[in-house]
Amino acid sequence: MFALPVLQNLLLSDNQLVGSPEDIPAPLSSPLWEIDLNSNQLTGPIPKSFFELMNLQHLRLGSNKLTDTIELGSIWRLRNLTYLNLGNNMISVTENEGDTIFSHSLRIQNLYLASCNLTKFLASLKYIDTIQDIDFSNNQIEGVIPSWIWENRLDSLDLSHNMFTTLEKLPFVQMTHLIDLDLSFNELQGSIPVPSTPSDLVLLDCSNNNFSSIEPNFGTYKRNVIYINLSKNKLSGNIPLSFCSLNNPEFMDLSYNYFSGTIPPCLMEKADQMIILKLRENKLHGMLP
């Protein structure tokens, strides 16, 4: 199939295809610019010829059973690549010290490397100003989430199910364009991150961490949040009144923390708009508003 001389788009996602992807003859001259094999049952390694397709813009191989070790430098040689999904396979992606050299002129916008055995935050991303969506969930990345990640014009950032412990420059971070932020299931401490300017954030999940504080004006900067999950942390004190500043919250989970005092009446007024409101397993008292 890959030998078809004028083939430009190969879209075979969401099937039950088995076997290994075949090598591409003469990849340097191939007109292929899109390969979508997401959500099949493919096995074996990724053909090296895939990373010699100079016209390739979209490569989607996620949610298969591929087994391989991929050096990031081989991916960055694809100068026209804007969309890459290798996630949820049995792949290991590695980054060598020299790989950042290739990243300065890249056009990558969507980078999905969930479950790719990453052990560190990719330094190459610091030099890519086109990146919009990042999914590094279900890896083994530990330590600090670098402050420079917020300097990109990100729409979506998923770092859930890792071993991060801190965020640089807490609590205020630059996330003007961010819509979805998922930091759940890490070991993050300190204060829940707050955007330094009013943001377009719609989904915020900081659940299952060790966050211990929250800024009183938290809700003021996140007025557009629809989904907010702060459950299973170590948050204490009164529930911030700024939660009442949210415009149209639909899901709010503050359960399994150490919040005390009474439930703000204004929050219960917002409950008319909510589909789900969870406050259980705290230390709240008083009359139900």
Chain segment 116-142, per-residue pLDDT in tens: 999 999 988 888 889 999 999 999 999
- Provide the 10 A C-beta neighbour count for residue 174: 17
Q: Is the pLDDT of residue 154 over 90?
A: no
Over residues 218-225, mean pLDDT: 82
- The more confident residue out of 147 and 19 is 19
E-strand ranges in 110-231 read: 110-112, 133-135, 142-145, 156-158, 163-167, 172-173, 180-182, 189-191, 194-195, 203-205, 210-213, 227-229
Q: Do domains 1-140 and 146-289 have the same CATH topology?
A: yes
- For residues 243 and 81, what is the distance between their CA atoms, to the nearest angstrom? 41
At residue 153, the pLDDT reads 82
Extents of the domains making up the chain: 1-140, 146-289
Exposure string of 239-257, with b = 16+ CB inside 10 Å and e = fewer, is bbbbbbbbeebebbbbbbb
Tell me which residue of 129, 128, 19 sits closest to 64, measured CA to CA: 19
Q: Is the pLDDT of residue 36 over 70?
A: yes
Q: What are phi and psi of 90, to 5 degrees?
A: -120, 50
Chain segment 161-219, per-residue pLDDT in tens: 999 999 987 767 777 788 899 999 999 999 998 876 666 788 999 999 999 999 888 88
My answer on whether omega of the bond before 171 falls inside 30° of 0, hence cis, is yes
At residue 37, the pLDDT reads 96
Q: Which residues contact 127 (CB under 8 A, 6 or more apart)?
A: 100, 103, 104
At residue 268, the pLDDT reads 84
Query: Using 50, 70 and 90 to split pLDDT, how confident is the model at 289?
Result: low
The CATH label, of 3.50.50.60, 3.80.10.10, 3.40.50.300, 3.60.21.10, for the domain at 1-140 is 3.80.10.10
Average pLDDT, whole number, for the chain?
Answer: 90
Question: What class has domain 146-289?
Answer: alpha beta
